[in-house]
Amino acid sequence: MSDLDPLLRLRQSIAANEAPITTKSPDPASDPTENLAVATHLQFSNPHYSYPLDTPTRFISSDKPVDLRSIWFAWQKKDVAIPDYIASAQELNEELAGKDSASKVQNLVFVERLDLITWLEGASEESEYIKGLESDASATRSAQVASGAAGGVSTIPSGAAGVRGGRTVDPRLQEIYNGERRMGDRNSVLR
């Protein structure tokens, strides 16, 4: 799955200085176009793979996935000032509406756009707006089980509650003791 993720593929192509091209069809031999209003696919050269520009990505804005067209547009306009970026997005949306297309470029707010560009450039490894891959979710679950935060084998408290070392303990302090992780060395485990 991760090798077919459009965001990851875009990041890898940017790192390799092999920018993808926009085309009018999924065919690699089709006419490339610079105009995002008429383009329908984003073509990667190594390895050859084409994604429709309407493909939703893992980048989440306003609780909705952002399409590849909006991501590519934000990358192309990375060096443009915010007012010019917003004006360009409105112009492109008007062109798309004039072509009776259901597509629309989503205008990313400054923080989202900055986070996306930083992640695509490789300057950061994480983004709060990019949802993890399924393989990342299973790794997180495994880490939680290993740390004892979730699942796994529950601990069995030793001794009576409220009594520690033959004396009574404050109930609030006992709650803290119950939350502690039980530790033992090799010999105490073997007993």
| Least reliable range by pLDDT among 51-55, 82-86, 130-134, 150-154 | 150-154
CB atoms within 10 A of CB 59: 26
Residues 37-55, mean pLDDT to the nearest whole number? 86
- Choose among 74, 51, 75, 55: nearest CA to 65: 55
Rg (CA), the chain: 26
pTM tops 0.85: no
pLDDT confidence tier of residue 47, bands split at 50, 70 and 90: confident
pLDDT confidence tier of residue 1, bands split at 50, 70 and 90: very low
Angle at the Cα of 12 (from 9 to 15), degrees rounded to 5? 150
Question: Residues 61-105: pLDDT tens digits?
Answer: 888 999 999 999 999 999 999 999 999 999 999 998 887 677 889
Q: Which residue has the higher pLDDT, 27 or 182?
A: 27
Q: Which pLDDT score, from 0 to 100, does residue 83 have?
A: 93
